[in-house]
């Protein structure tokens, strides 16, 4: 089971399968690298497929530490350095998008492109950014986590999927294998990471992202608004946006074939020889 030490008391778990140019996947809040398992089945035949568990998540340690975007970015940069990754595509989902935005400047020379799935540069709304959740919603979620952690997590998992996705026959197996098949973070790590989400604002970093970026968003996403990806498209110089109709917050889980097709098309355009 591979780990790298990125800071005192912080060991980051990662998985690497396949050979070729590296694809590095970052999961969202309170998830783990396990969520990407359906993409591994498809992409590891042509690429080196790498997932990591953010600190305090999955099998990574560090639950007693801090959980800022800078912390997550430092761990990600160390992974790139220790694995000697170049010409990589970094794929972030949800909070993983914000980690990718934060780390970009550090690993710019290692990157070929970025993919942002169901992302936003700012999770909560403000007077000049209406494309986020109300701060009251994140505070309410923090209270619910303290009162009943397991139930609140289950409600969050369910909320990632649009109604029509939730009732598909495939949903129970999907939830069991890809989501709850991972390891829930320590409640303290989940709460600290949620606070980072609620207070973070990375909009000022978007214009400096100068590699191709594929933005993917589900039209029925109730966690991060599709308008957030439209905002990023308008502020990232080389970004393109693909909306998956009818999909919720995790289109790579609920619509893996549609998501996989978008990924392969993008990668073929970026690398040109796969």
Which range, of 80-84, 216-220, 252-256, averages the lowest pLDDT? 252-256
Q: Which of 94, 118, 193, 254 is catalytic?
A: 94
Q: Which of 71, 75, 221, 258 is catalytic?
A: 221
Which residues neighbour 49 within 8 Å (Cβ) at sequence distance 6 or greater? 16, 17, 18, 23, 25, 39, 40, 43
> What integer is the mean pLDDT of 195-203?
96
| Whole-number pLDDT of residue 173 | 67
> What integer is the mean pLDDT of 109-129?
97
Whether 221 is catalytic is yes
Given a cut of 60, whether residue 59 has pLDDT beyond it is: yes
Average pLDDT, the chain: 92
Record: fold of 3-271: Rossmann fold (3.40.50)
| Whole-number pLDDT of residue 158 | 84
pTM for this model (two decimals): 0.95
- Going by their DSSP bridges, the two strands 239-244 and 213-218 should be labelled as parallel
Q: Using 50, 70 and 90 to split pLDDT, how confident is the model at 7?
A: confident
Cα separation, 92 vs 117, whole angstroms:
6
Cα separation, 75 vs 7, whole angstroms:
8
Q: Which of 57, 249, 254, 258 is catalytic?
A: 249
| Whole-number pLDDT of residue 175 | 64
**213-to-77, 147, 191, 230, 242 alpha-carbon distances in Å:** 19, 39, 30, 12, 11
- Do residues 97 and 120 touch, judged by C-beta distance below 8 A? yes
Q: Which two tokens stand for residue 215?
A: 């933005």
> What integer is the mean pLDDT of 163-170?
65
The upper half-sphere exposure of residue 195, i.e. CA atoms within 13 Å in the direction of its Cβ, equals: 10
Which range, of 158-172, 181-195, 197-211, averages the lowest pLDDT? 158-172
Whether 219 is catalytic is no
Q: Using 50, 70 and 90 to split pLDDT, how confident is the model at 1?
A: low
Cα 211 from chain centre:
18
pLDDT in tens, 135-165: 999 999 999 999 999 889 888 888 888 877 7
Strand order through the sheet with 22-26: 3-7, 10-17, 48-52, 22-26, 88-93, 111-117, 213-218, 239-244
Whether 94 is catalytic is yes
Q: Using 50, 70 and 90 to split pLDDT, how confident is the model at 167?
A: low
Which range, of 53-62, 173-182, 237-246, averages the lowest pLDDT? 173-182
> What integer is the mean pLDDT of 37-66?
90
> What integer is the mean pLDDT of 165-189?
68
Given a cut of 80, whether residue 52 has pLDDT beyond it is: yes
């Amino acid at each position: 089971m591979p780990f790298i030490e990125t800071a005192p008391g912080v060991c980051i778990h990662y998985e690497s399968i396949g050979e070729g140019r590296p694809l590095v996947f970052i999961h969202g809040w309170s998830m783990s690298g396990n969520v990407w398992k359906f993409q591994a089945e498809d992409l590891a035949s042509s690429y080196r497929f790498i997932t990591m568990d953010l600190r305090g998540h999955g099998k990574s340690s560090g639950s007693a530490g801090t959980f800022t975007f800078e912390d997550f970015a430092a761990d990600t940069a160390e992974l790139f350095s220790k694995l000697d990754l170049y010409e990589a595509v970094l794929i972030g989902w949800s909070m993983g998008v914000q980690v990718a935005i934060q780390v970009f400047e550090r690993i710019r020379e290692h990157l070929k492109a970025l993919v942002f799935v169901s992302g936003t540069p700012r999770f909560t709304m403000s007077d000049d950014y209406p494309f986020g959740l109300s701060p009251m919603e994140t505070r309410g979620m923090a209270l619910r986590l303290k009162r009943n952690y397991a139930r609140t997590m289950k409600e969050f998992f369910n909320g990632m999927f649009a109604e029509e996705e939730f009732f598909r026959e495939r949903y129970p197996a999907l939830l069991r294998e890809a989501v709850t098949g991972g390891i829930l973070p320590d409640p303290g790590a989940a709460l600290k990471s949620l606070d980072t989400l609620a207070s973070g604002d990375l909009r000022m970093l978007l214009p400096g992202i100068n590699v191709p970026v594929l933005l993917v968003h589900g039209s029925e996403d109730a966690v991060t608004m599709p308008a957030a990806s439209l905002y990023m498209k308008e502020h990232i110089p080389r970004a393109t946006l693909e909306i998956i109709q009818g999909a919720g917050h995790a289109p790579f889980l609920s619509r893996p074939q549609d998501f996989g097709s978008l990924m392969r098309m993008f990668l073929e355009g970026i690398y040109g020889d796969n």
